[in-house]
Amino acid sequence: MTQRITIDPITRISGFLEISAELDQNTIVDAQAKGLLFRGFETMLKGRQPLDAVFFTERICGICSAAHSFASTLALEDALHVYTSNNDKYLREIIHGFEFVQNHLRHFYLMLMPCFVKITSPPIVNVEQYSDFRIPEEGTARLQEHYRQGIEFSMLAHEGQAVLGAKAPHHHGIFPGGVVSDLTAYKIVKVRSYIRQLLTFVSTVMREDTEVIAYYYPDYYEMGISYPNFLSYGVFDNAEESIHYVGPGVLMNGELQEFSPDNITKQVNYAWFNSSNEADEVNPEKKDAYTFIKAPRYANNPMEVGPLARMLISGNYQGGHSCMDRIYARMLETEKILNIMNNLTDLLELLPNGQRRLSIPDISQGAGLVDTTRGSLGHWISIGNKVIDHYSIITPSNWNLSPKDADGNPGVIEKALIGTVIADINSPVEIGRIVRSFDPCVSCATHLIGRNGDRITIELPV
């Protein structure tokens, strides 16, 4: 006998997500991830000034706004043929780095931890509906104190970003040509001070907390496994070893392959859109559709993106592909990125930033592909008559939260849920844990437009 469980809202993520799972006895046999927020950014962008895309698109997401300003800046630099100096590139990588740290700390402490640890203060975080909390009282008290510190340190990461980016979220720092900020010796030592405080916290407290959770929940190394397919566009992809993290790459069934953007397609079979390239063709009445999120595929494969994908592709993680591997890899990545940021500050020189008046071509195209906090983010811009003619975005959560495709393959998070055994179907705590291990963001995911199966053929920026 089958039975359906629906959880909505999946709280402690960004945006509005509903998970609907069909169970046979205690095993999930089908799952649907439903993104239930639509604003239509690409439609809004049509006709606007190209340079305004930087400040406009960062407002897609309040927790990863620097990701969108970074990708839109890359797309504009590609379209406008703008050169950027290494010094400015390093500065914006530091700004982006603070976004990673802020996001990963907020995700781990505020969003994920209450799934596994009985946090009771502040009272809003307390969970009464589930009882599978395994960490003894003393350990829980320590983690409760670390939760409080997690709020402070994630705030501190955004403060570091603001030193170079004016404010956070929705910063004014990254812009075509590099950054707008002036660099001073004071800013360098100030930024370095934030990085070192954060590194100390991550490499001691966050590492300990992750290991405690992994110790008490070893079964989650066997749960939440999705496709063995991973994608990264690369980030901190610098030549020097000390500041290099990961280049563009694909890991398909254990085999490392070269990434080619020509292999990306997007489908709308199960999304509330007509097969059209206009977002105002949104159609909430569409038969069989169940989400505002479209389905990107790579060579027809659903791909997992995010910290685990990057750590596997870069050879920095040798573990498996489970819920707990995802959590562990995110912690290791936070430490890795802080070390890179620290090394980047050593390379900074007190040079003027690369800003100059930019001229907008009548017609041009550009692509900005970069890995960000949650995975691979692509912005594609097409300029006509000096304004935005077409703007297309595929966010990391598009990849992870996508619905079924034309071949009937479930999306990555759906696949991770299928096969999961729910110990007590009146208390399905497992679903939220697995879903949150991906750090999904619906605010970002529901803006994609494009023809059914449209092939994206714009080349990577140089």
- CB of 292: closest distance to other proteins in angstroms? 8
- Listed in sequence order, the residues at least 6 apart from 80 whose beta carbon sits closer than 8 Å to its beta carbon are 50, 176, 358, 359, 360, 361, 364, 366
Beta bridge partner(s), residue 388: 383
- Listed in sequence order, the residues at least 6 apart from 44 whose beta carbon sits closer than 8 Å to its beta carbon are 56
Determine the Cα–Cα distance for residues 273 and 139; give it in Å rounded to an integer: 48
- CB of 140: closest distance to other proteins in angstroms? 14
Q: Which is nearer to other proteins, 261 or 354 (CB)?
A: 354
Determine the Cα–Cα distance for residues 159 and 147; give it in Å rounded to an integer: 19
Q: Which is nearer to other proteins, 6 or 242 (CB)?
A: 6
Q: Which is nearer to other proteins, 186 or 239 (CB)?
A: 186
- CB of 239: closest distance to other proteins in angstroms? 26
Q: Which is nearer to other proteins, 248 or 403 (CB)?
A: 403
- CB of 290: closest distance to other proteins in angstroms? 12
- CB of 272: closest distance to other proteins in angstroms? 9
Pair of tokens at residue 401: 């939260």
Q: Which is nearer to other proteins, 292 or 399 (CB)?
A: 292
Q: Which is nearer to other proteins, 40 or 319 (CB)?
A: 40
Q: Which is nearer to other proteins, 172 or 390 (CB)?
A: 172
Contact 324, 308 (CB under 8 A): no
Contact 393, 378 (CB under 8 A): yes
- CB of 12: closest distance to other proteins in angstroms? 7
- CB of 172: closest distance to other proteins in angstroms? 4
- CB of 359: closest distance to other proteins in angstroms? 7
Cα distances (Å, whole numbers) of residue 123 to 107, 144, 148, 151, 327: 19, 12, 12, 15, 25
Strands across the sheet with 2-7, in order? 2-7, 17-24, 27-35
Pair of tokens at residue 343: 């090394």
Strands across the sheet with 295-298, in order? 295-298, 264-267, 454-455
Give the residue among 303, 308, 311 at the shortest CA–CA distance from 326.
Answer: 308
Q: Which is nearer to other proteins, 218 or 284 (CB)?
A: 284
Cα distances (Å, whole numbers) of residue 80 to 86, 145, 263, 358, 386: 18, 49, 25, 8, 11
Q: Which is nearer to other proteins, 324 or 388 (CB)?
A: 388
Give the residue among 370, 344, 338, 351 at the shortest CA–CA distance from 84.
Answer: 351
- CB of 39: closest distance to other proteins in angstroms? 5
- CB of 427: closest distance to other proteins in angstroms? 10
Pair of tokens at residue 174: 């990254």
CA 63 to chain centre: 9
- Listed in sequence order, the residues at least 6 apart from 179 whose beta carbon sits closer than 8 Å to its beta carbon are 88, 91, 92, 95, 164, 173, 353, 354
Structure-token match 């304004």, residue found: 387
Instruction: Return the amino acid letter for 115.
Output: C
Q: Which is nearer to other proteins, 44 or 418 (CB)?
A: 44
Q: Which is nearer to other proteins, 60 or 344 (CB)?
A: 60
- CB of 178: closest distance to other proteins in angstroms? 9
